[in-house]
Amino acid sequence: MRKSVAGRLKNALALSYQQNHRRWFLSSSHSRFFSSSPPVLDSAASTSMANSSSSPSPSPLTLQTINPKVVRSSVTALHFQVLKCEYAVRGEIVTLAQRLQEELQKNPGSHPFDEILYCNIGNPQSLGQQPITFFREVLALCDHPAILDKSETQGLFSADAIERAWQILDQIPGRATGAYSHSQGIKGLRDAIAAGIEARDGYPANPNDIFLTDGASPAVHMMMQLLIRSEKDGILCPIPQYPLYSASIALHGGTLVPYYLDEASGWGLETFELKKQLEAAKSKGISVRALVVINPGNPTGQVLAEGNQRDIVEFCKQEGLVLLADEVYQENVYVPDKEFHSFKKVSRSMGYGEEDIALVSFQSVSKGYYGECGKRGGYMEVTGFSADIREQIYKVASVNLCSNISGQILASLVMSPPKVGDESYESYRAERDGILSSLARRAKTLEDAFNNLEGITCNKAEGAMYLFPCINLPQKAIKAAEAAKTAPDAFYAHRLLNATGIVFVPGSGFGQVPGTWHFRCTILPQEDKIPAIVSRLTDFHKGFMDEFRD
């Protein structure tokens, strides 16, 4: 942060924002988060009801009779854009982008740009990132083991991929990759993951603590399902946050208790703020059950310092909170002065064991340098829970029988990639390092570009896949947004998209300090597209600021 946002943050905590017929108020204790029936819900619901009752609705399921938690699930964060928070990273603005893309295909030249530049979602392979060859070789061989001992296979696949496929198949009962597995995942694969965690942390990991899941999202849902009994149960969540958390808390009927990351200190996480929000929630009768930490941060891109992590662990221990550690970006660190430390490693290094801290670490194959979003693999490592609670976690896991086996295999592979001396090692290392170093360059280029723009400040993307720049919009632009019945950050993002084809997600999709405006920009477009993004953004921004200068 080059310009101080802190003062603005402090002063902006009471905001009234009028938009069309909606008006809402945020007190300094952010009471909307605690309210089980936020006024914006009533407003939204009544609008929708009016719509649905005016058209003939033969269905026994209508917006009047649907589970209100579903309708409400999108309105737990700060601004009206969050009415569609689930859509934030692939929502309204993406729908518009897709329409523009179709128009360009049908009628080239119909817009002042020749392609859509998607910076909205952490989906690397959709933007041309290639999968890691070794991982895909093993997956293909496990899908069709009949070719494993054919001579042609030697010419098509690396020797260690063939060997690894055999090893994995031998760990699967009957070598049946088409069978349901144990509800926690195949034991041999959990062994490999536990060994990978041990190698990463230097502390023991137990394969029986691993629950393999279809990506990290179902794991988060499982924990929310276990933790939340009613709207009186609260979950401490960072703001800004990845909307999975607000949605999951709302769908399970709980209350999101926000704590604000400090933009001025590079999205720092202060235990002072945690304590303040915890007390505020308690005073409203909310029983706070868990703390969500996303490290490296999404959408904020910071990497927590180890000292900061120790404070968080201590806070959870003292307050008796479950620590839900979203560590899906653990491989994505781009700055030399920061390093990823798992919360398990940090708590063990403090001398805290199973008896001291209840900790869930989420990991996913969708992120890292591999970015295998479509494979839906992931796991959670669950430590510090009693046997009876573990049994309940297992029960919830078993309702869906098991996660997909390819995703399970891939989760084991990313935690035990090729080693020095393996046939694939050099090519694997080149692919991995090529992706990570390119991501680091892209992050730096985009960060610098943002910081060169009038009224925009942007923290470093130390890790993860995102930048979350703050934009100080002129009052005239804010008024124009009001007139257009949209939030100011969404107004900017729409104008940007229509003018340049660049897709950013408005900050209101993630939550932000009231009165501040941001957008999330991924660092994922291929490197040869970055200069075009920078120059189009720069030109657009200059024109926008000139148009709306106060």
Q: Is 173 in the site for a copy of itself (CB under 8 A)?
A: yes
**One of 136, 341, 344, 536 touching a copy of itself (CB under 8 A):** 136
Q: Smallest Cα–Cα separation from 449: which of 542, 538, 545, 541?
A: 538
Instruction: Provide, rounded to whole angstroms, the least separation between the CB of residue 408 and a copy of itself.
Output: 9
The smaller minimum CB distance to a copy of itself, of residues 219 and 467, is found at 219
Percent composition of the chain: helix, strand, coil (DSSP 3-state, to 5): 50, 15, 40
Of 22-30, 141-149, 325-333, 459-467, which part binds a copy of itself (CB under 8 A)?
Answer: 141-149
Phi and psi torsions of 290, nearest 5°: -155, 160
Q: Is 144 in the site for a copy of itself (CB under 8 A)?
A: yes
Q: Is 164 in the site for a copy of itself (CB under 8 A)?
A: no
Q: Is 420 in the site for a copy of itself (CB under 8 A)?
A: no
Task: Tell how strand 117-118 and strand 502-503 pair up.
Answer: parallel
Half-sphere exposure (CA, 13 Å, Cβ side) for 446?
31
| CA end-to-end span of the chain | 24
Neighbours of 56 (CB within 10 A): 7
Q: Smallest Cα–Cα separation from 196: which of 362, 412, 363?
A: 412
The Cα 23–Cα 80 span in angstroms is 10
Q: Is 117 in the site for a copy of itself (CB under 8 A)?
A: no
**One of 9, 40, 189, 247 touching a copy of itself (CB under 8 A):** 247
Site for a copy of itself in 66-85 (CB under 8 A): 66-71, 73-74
**One of 63, 205, 249, 257 touching a copy of itself (CB under 8 A):** 63
**Interface pattern 201-240 for a copy of itself (x via CB under 8 A):** -------------xx-xx--x---xxxxx-----------
Check residue 391 and give left, alpha or beta (phi > 0: left; psi -120 to 50: alpha).
alpha
**One of 181, 184, 486, 522 touching a copy of itself (CB under 8 A):** 181
Site for a copy of itself in 364-393 (CB under 8 A): 366, 371-376, 384-386, 388-389, 392
Q: Is 119 in the site for a copy of itself (CB under 8 A)?
A: no
Whole-number Cα distances in Å, 146 to 94, 169, 410: 42, 12, 20
Q: Is 354 in the site for a copy of itself (CB under 8 A)?
A: yes
**One of 57, 167, 171, 445 touching a copy of itself (CB under 8 A):** 57
Instruction: Provide, rounded to whole angstroms, the least separation between the CB of residue 170 and a copy of itself.
Output: 15
The Cα 219–Cα 357 span in angstroms is 19
The Cα 33–Cα 75 span in angstroms is 9
The Cα 105–Cα 455 span in angstroms is 35
Distance of CA 360 to the CA centre of its chain: 16
Q: Is 406 in the site for a copy of itself (CB under 8 A)?
A: yes
Residues found in the chain: 550
Site for a copy of itself in 182-201 (CB under 8 A): 183
The smaller minimum CB distance to a copy of itself, of residues 371 and 417, is found at 371
Site for a copy of itself in 260-319 (CB under 8 A): 289-290
